Amino acid sequence: MGASSTQDARTASSTAVSTDGSTFHSNAALDSQVIFEGFSNFQAMPTQTAEYTNVKIAQNAQLFKDLGITSFELAPQYRSSTDASFLDSVVQNGYAFTDRYDVGYNTPTKYGTVAQLLSAIKALHAQGIQAINDWVPDQIYNLPGEEIVTAERTNSAGIYDQDSAINNTLYDSHTVGGGQYQAMYGGAFLDKIKQLYPDLFKTKQISTGQSMNPNEKITEWSAKYFNGSNIQGRGAWYVLKDWATNKYFSVSSNNSFLPNQLLAGKASTGFVTENDKTTFYSTSGYQAKGTFIQDGNNWYYFDNDGYMVTGANKINGYNYYFLPNGIELRDAYLSDGNKSYYYNKAGRQVADRYYLLADGNWRYFFKDGTMAKGLTQITAVNGETVTQYFDSEGIQVKGKAVIDSSNNIRYFAENTGDMVIDGFGKDSDGSWLYLDHQGVAVTGKQVINGQTLYFNADGRQVKNDFKELADGSWLYLDQNGVAVTGKQVINGQTLYFNADGRQVKDDFKELPDGSWLYLDQNGVAVTGKQTIRGQHLYFKADGIQVKGDAVLEADGKLHYYDPDSGEEWL
């Protein structure tokens, strides 16, 4: 737009302390900042020096300055793992690395050598551009050393995943190592970090409840540093165990555990039924007691006496259900004709929580495990009670209107599924409803926020249409659903509506400029020569009554109309 290439529209950063409790604030200093993010997922591997990203950045630092860029976020500079097990290690974008400190020593990364990285940073700084490092702490990947750890599966919030079969399970984890430069530089900058950011070592970590050890210098990684973030689902069931006893096989001088066959013990295997009771012996020859047993695709449970259970059972604090043949329900629903229950992929009954289905829909199960249906009140962990709706299949309704068991029309918010109260809701077909303070859709004429609106019997707001009221009068609702007032041209006809939105019929109406209309029995402004209430009057093509003027009429003569009454002078 003609601005000089040297123009700088930025404002100075502010050091004022905020006390309103908010983390982010919009202000001139912040809003004038422009961050450029470098990213390289689909950038080809360079074949010559001039093609390396950091070389290009150094060459174009002045251009970035001219473009108004204030901060430059470099792509992650680490040497990628190349095991090709997933995308990041295939495209070598720096998001999956083994040595956190290898940023291009000896041989270049995808972005260049360590010297080229330094040149790029110096070039940016020379132009007053901040350099930002793209670094994801837990993406250390493909460490060469293995160790056996105890693992359980959690969700992104650190809460145990009740659908997971991994629960305090021994796990073969690749969590040992770090590389040449981790050994060289790991902890080398710890004292400086403590000096600059002392509070960093006072904050308690969510995963452990403990603050970081300020004296731990990590020159080689192990599982204790990861808190499970390096598991990646590839080491479960690598450690051999006997499922009948839930003991892991081990060999030691004082506490060995081996298959019975190797100890010359009884070596019965499989199911044994005697006196209508079924027991089970593992392939190692041990009887199953107080444990789950998998046989093919089916699971069973044997109690502490070693007998197979059936029906509903509570085991280790969870509710399970076993068919008459002992097969455990997993990823299955159970109905008694009135109530429905769900048993997840681990066979545990889902209770007192929402459950996300594969198709993205939600169900809710009460504390007793029954699936919610119909209008339902749910108390959240913060103590707030919300009203939601679940259809006949138990699917939560979101962004739709429904008719409840009392024939009331209600609407449930698209994001939360909460019942809307004292507000509008947009139904799945694009129509709108208004819900009163009890969450029931209003009908008929309504005055909401000072506007006259109309809603059909199904709760949907009328737009671009006429509606007849109970007293026989009419409204016209515009494209926003608001009743129009004053003079209007609708479908080519001139009409008039009072301040309350009611259409005027069989009556005169004065316009703001002092002119007059006459609306006939259909509410349409008359035109031409008219005899109304015994008076001879004349109305122009736009419906405006002629007063104090002459009109050349069809008889070829001029006819004059009184300036006050508008009546024709004869």
Q: What's the average model confidence in pLDDT over 48-67? A: 95
Residue 238 phi, psi (nearest 5)? -80, -25
**Is residue 30 over pLDDT 80?**
no
Residues of the chain with pLDDT > 90, as a percent, come to: 67
For 435-459, the pLDDT digits (tens) are: 999 999 999 999 999 999 999 999 9
The strand pair at 35-37 and 71-74 is best described as: parallel
pLDDT for res 344: 94
Q: Going by C-beta distance under 8 Å and a sequence separation of 6 or more, which residues neighbour residue 440?
A: 408, 409, 410
Average pLDDT, the chain: 89
- CA dist list (Å): 482 to 192, 461, 504: 66, 10, 17
Write down the pLDDT at residue 381.
77
Locate 506 and state its tokens. Answer: 């069989």
Mean pLDDT of 524-538: 94
Whether 411 shows a pLDDT value over 70: the answer reads yes
CB of 316 within 8 A of CB of 291? no
Q: How far apart are CA 176 and CA 98, in angstroms?
A: 10
d(CA 57, CA 482): 57
Pairing assessment for the beta strands 340-343 and 332-335 based on DSSP bridges:
antiparallel
- pLDDT-derived band at 304, boundaries 50, 70, 90: very high
Looking at the predicted structure, is the pLDDT value of residue 233 above 60?
no
pLDDT in tens, 114-124: 999 999 999 99
Distance (Å, whole) CA 141 – CA 412: 44
- Residue 49 or residue 257, greater confidence: 49
Instruction: Identify each DSSP E strand in 449-512 by its residue range.
Output: 451-455, 465-468, 474-477, 486-490, 493-497, 507-510
CA–CA distances in Å: residue 563 to residues 110, 350, 543, 569: 90, 84, 17, 10
Measured in degrees and rounded to the nearest 5, phi and psi for residue 279 equal -120, 175
- DSSP letters spanning 408-453: -EEEE-TTT-PBP-SEEEE-TTS-EEEE-TTSPBP-EEEEETTEEE
Q: Which domains does the chain have, with CATH numbers?
A: 24-138 (3.30.750.90), 278-441 (2.10.270.10)
Mean pLDDT of the region 311-325: 95
Residue position matching structure tokens 């984890």: 173
How buried is 399 (Cβ within 10 angstroms: 0-12 exposed, 13-18 middle, 19+ buried)?
middle
